[in-house]
């Protein structure tokens, strides 16, 4: 079971694209000088993906979703990639779907493609073998709130707010509810969905939607500190742990313990598993291989 989880975590998303710094493949439709909808930077194992359409409140249009998907997937299996941070330019992290794409003029097939792509991106964030951190400084609504809820970790500023206001425009936030309903208590989710009222950053922390609330001037520092800490661990062990966590959370208690126990035994059989234990006993820093190598059967 652990090997199948590890294969999924470390190999399913292998692509043959070449990473380019500060890149994005989808562009503004009416800009004289095309601007990428997302920016990608990578340094010391940390990939930064920045939503780059502040004029449209970083709406998750189909083009934005496709650009985000590409920047997540590019070289996702490289040992050089250890963690992804998603942030945004401007005062709005993301306002959710572009409502102009959801009119009858676009048609049912287009609408289906929008929500299919959105679901693909949200599940991709949880299925890739590296942790994904949301760095939020502002408003996150509807699918923007869904994006925050889908990330493994979310660090936000005190001025950030979160809402699912679709009900107020006749479009209930059913797909955002999938991620939000798995992140916060049921009654909190239902109040957000039925009223559309925003919750504060501190309420989001209280209910489990976000991981940490920090002053605006410390957002970058706090987020990078988490990312750098992730980079100190074995990529292989992190990938195995992330895949196992997602799997056992979908199971009943007894099945979850069976899954997790089996994976821990298999984790111990890995070279990196034994290296970490030896390093602890010998009071030194571990030297990770980051590879699927066995120390014993």
10-residue mean pLDDT series, the chain (297 residues): 48 37 48 82 97 97 98 96 98 97 97 98 98 98 98 98 97 98 97 98 98 98 98 97 96 98 97 96 95 86
Give the pLDDT of residue 221.
98
The two three-digit tokens of residue 287, written as one number: 């030297």
DSSP bridge partners of 38: 51
Regarding beta strands 38-43 and 46-51, do their DSSP bridges make them parallel or antiparallel, or are they unpaired? antiparallel
Give burial (CB, 10 Å; 0-12/13-18/19+) of 94: buried
Asked if 49 and 86 touch (Cβ cutoff 8 Å), the reply is yes
Give burial (CB, 10 Å; 0-12/13-18/19+) of 265: exposed
Give the pLDDT of residue 34.
72
Give the pLDDT of residue 237.
97
Give the pLDDT of residue 17.
34
Give the pLDDT of residue 13.
38
The two three-digit tokens of residue 31, written as one number: 């800009």
Q: pTM of the full predicted structure?
A: 0.89
Give the pLDDT of residue 292.
87
Helix ranges restricted to H, 60-160: 62-73, 108-127, 143-150
Q: Which domains does the chain have, with CATH numbers?
A: 38-231 (3.90.226.10), 233-282 (1.10.12.10)
Task: Count CA atoms within 13 Å of residue 2 on its CB side.
Answer: 20
Give the pLDDT of residue 28.
47
Phi, psi of 278 (to 5 degrees): -65, -40
What are the residues whose beta carbons fall under 8 Å from the beta carbon of 1, sequence distance 6 or more?
259, 262, 263, 266
Give the pLDDT of residue 29.
47
């Amino acid at each position: 079971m652990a090997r199948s989880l590890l294969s999924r975590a470390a190999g399913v998303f292998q692509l043959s694209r070449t990473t380019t710094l500060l890149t994005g493949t989808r562009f503004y439709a009416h800009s004289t000088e095309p601007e990428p909808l997302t920016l990608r930077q990578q340094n010391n194992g940390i990939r930064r993906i920045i939503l780059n359409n502040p004029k449209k409140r970083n709406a998750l249009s189909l083009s934005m979703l496709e650009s985000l998907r590409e920047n997540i997937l590019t070289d996702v299996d490289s040992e050089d990639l250890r963690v992804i941070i998603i942030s945004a330019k401007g005062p709005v992290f993301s306002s959710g779907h572009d409502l102009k794409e959801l009119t009858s003029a676009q048609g049912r097939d287009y609408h289906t493609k929008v929500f299919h792509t959105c679901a693909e991106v949200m599940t991709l964030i949880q299925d890739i073998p590296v942790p994904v951190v949301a760095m939020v400084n502002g408003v996150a609504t509807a699918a923007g709130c869904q994006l925050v809820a889908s990330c493994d970790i979310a660090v936000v500023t005190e001025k950030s707010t979160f809402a699912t206001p679709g009900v107020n425009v006749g479009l209930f936030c059913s797909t955002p509810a999938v991620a939000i309903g798995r992140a916060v208590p049921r009654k909190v989710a239902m109040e957000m969905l039925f009223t559309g009222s925003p919750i504060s950053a501190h309420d989001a922390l209280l209910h489990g939607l976000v991981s940490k609330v920090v002053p605006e001037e410390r957002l970058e520092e706090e987020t990078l500190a988490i990312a750098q800490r992730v980079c100190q661990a074995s990529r292989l062990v992190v990938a195995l742990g992330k895949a196992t966590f997602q799997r056992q959370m979908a199971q009943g208690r007894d099945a979850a313990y069976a899954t997790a126990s089996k994976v821990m035994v298999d984790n111990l059989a890995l070279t990196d598993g034994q290296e970490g234990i030896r390093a602890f006993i010998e009071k030194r820093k571990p030297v990770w291989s980051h590879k699927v190598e066995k120390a014993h059967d």
